[in-house]
Amino acid sequence: MKKVGCYIHIPFCEKKCYYCDFAAFEGLENWIDTYIDNLIKEIRLYRENMDLAIDTIYIGGGTPSYINPSYIEKIIGEVREFDTDIKEFSLECNPNSIDEAKLQAYKDLGVTRISLGVQSFDDKVLRNIGRNHNKEIAIRDIKLIKSFGFDLSFDLMLNLPGQDFDSVKKDLEMVKILSPDHISWYSLILDKGSRFYALDKKGELDLMEDDLEVDIFSYLVDELEKLGLKRYEISNFARSGKESIHNKKYWNIDDYIAFGIGASGFLSNKRYNNTRNFVKYDKALREGKYPIVFEEFIDKDEREKEYIIFKLRECEGINLAEFREKFACDFLVKYKGVIEKFKDQDFYKIDENFYFTKKGMSLSNEFYIEII
């Protein structure tokens, strides 16, 4: 039986951040009961029609910790009707949305890993991006999560309005003090539809110069490694053995099933996206239909290119023997022209794997463009 990851989307938030273009909504508490009922229907629909085993669960959002844990319990009870052998169960939380009772409920449900959306420990920066917590609340909640024995990951962001090198260094000091198992440190992306995207178009967003951002991130990579947080993917750092098992499925082009509005899944070489509209989601499930609005079959050539791009996001890169087994060709031969173009530029290394150097990671898009 095929083992897949499982992503579940909870779209509700107390407050939507200015950079966010996810399927996340504030002020829709009256939809929660209906949404959870429909989510259960969607899970059942897949279970009745597909023979799958689930080995990772990731509940994201939105803010999953915003809703009552009884809803999470109901969802997970339905997921466990699949054949399950859960190696990792992650739940996204935001500071100011958890307490001891919620964390105990998550522990009882089998959650192993909490991913906390900190973004910054600078109160000014947090206000600039529309977060509803401050440094003190984030520290309090991190300590609370650790007291329950969860694997702790938290997100931090770079190139935020009002953020400078000193602010980032202070964030790094807090990482040192709080000692998480895993960190995702992302650069701000201006997604169309977000408040920040509109402000940037008007020239009203104060962001870093590109070269400064690259220099700061290079500094972070070195300093995090000194703290035992080794880079294993472009934006992800972990202590040994604490890498995200679920997220690796995305980078390995492994199958994963996805439930909820705006969720995206990948099954049997077919990628699909659910509607982001509550009314359309409700209508589809009431009619016993999948709430899918887009799907495409990923052929061998496209799968090969996606595999290259995703694997090169990881520090270990492409295992050459594995590539040959998957795609019946030699990576170094087929892509010799692209590889030669970047020769002697300290861009990559080759042993049993082909992988980017630190410089190559920073300039990876140049390589991807040639591959595509």
Partner residues linked to 57 by β-bridges: 6, 89
Annotate 198-214 with b (16+ C-beta within 10 A) or e (fewer). Answer: eebeeeebebbeeeebe
Q: Is residue 150 within 8 Å of residue 112, measured between CB atoms?
A: yes
What pLDDT digit, counting tens, does each position of 226-281 carry?
Answer: 999 999 999 999 999 999 999 999 999 999 999 999 999 999 999 999 999 999 99
What pLDDT digit, counting tens, does each position of 64-79 carry?
Answer: 999 999 999 999 999 9
Percent of the chain with pLDDT over 90: 89
> What is the pLDDT averaged over residues 111-129?
97
DSSP-derived letter for residue 166 is: H
Q: Is 113 exposed, middle or buried (0-12, 13-18, 19+ CB in 10 A)?
A: buried
In 3D space, the residue among 356, 348, 307, 357 whose CA is nearest the CA of residue 329 turns out to be: 307
Partner residues linked to 354 by β-bridges: 318, 350
> What is the pLDDT averaged over residues 292-305?
96
Q: Please report the pLDDT score of residue 143 as a whole number.
A: 98
Mean pLDDT over all residues of the chain? 95
What pLDDT digit, counting tens, does each position of 73-98 carry?
Answer: 999 999 999 999 999 999 999 999 99
Q: Is residue 197 within 8 Å of residue 190, measured between CB atoms?
A: yes
Q: Which residues make Cβ contacts (< 8 Å) with residue 249, sequence separation at least 6?
A: 4, 5, 56, 255, 256
User: What is the Cα Rg of the chain in Å?
Assistant: 21
What pLDDT digit, counting tens, does each position of 136-178 carry?
Answer: 999 999 999 999 999 999 999 999 999 999 999 999 999 999 9
Between 372 and 114, the higher pLDDT residue: 114
Q: Please report the pLDDT score of residue 240 as a whole number.
A: 96
Partner residues linked to 53 by β-bridges: 3, 83
Q: Which residues make Cβ contacts (< 8 Å) with residue 204, sequence separation at least 6?
A: none
Percent of the chain with pLDDT over 70: 100
DSSP per-residue string spanning 85-135: EEEEEEEEE-TTS--HHHHHHHHHHT--EEEEEEE-S-HHHHHHTT-S--H
The rounded distance, in Å, linking the Cα atoms of 7 and 314 is: 21
The rounded distance, in Å, linking the Cα atoms of 214 and 303 is: 30
> What is the pLDDT averaged over residues 328-342?
96
Answer whether residue 372 shows pLDDT above 90: no
Q: Please report the pLDDT score of residue 200 as a whole number.
A: 86
Q: CA of 366: how far to CAs of 60, 251, 361, 363, 369, in Å?
A: 31, 19, 10, 6, 5
Give the model's confidence band at 128: pLDDT under 50 very low, under 70 low, under 90 confident, else very high.
very high
Q: Please report the pLDDT score of residue 21 as a whole number.
A: 84
Q: Is residue 238 within 8 Å of residue 182, measured between CB atoms?
A: yes
Answer whether residue 205 shows pLDDT above 90: no
> Residue length, the chain?
372
What pLDDT digit, counting tens, does each position of 353-367 carry?
Answer: 999 999 999 989 999
Measure the CA angle with vertex 314, ends 346 and 196; round to 5°.
95
Beta-sheet pairing, 318-319 with 353-356 = antiparallel
The rounded distance, in Å, linking the Cα atoms of 69 and 63 is: 12
User: Using CA of residue 132, residue 138, residue 144, residue 145, what is the dihedral sign?
Assistant: positive
Find the helix or strand (DSSP H, E) in which 290 lies: none
> What is the pLDDT averaged over residues 4-20?
94
The pTM of the full predicted model, rounded to 2 decimals, is 0.95
Q: Please report the pLDDT score of residue 63 as a whole number.
A: 97
Answer whether residue 1 shows pLDDT above 80: no
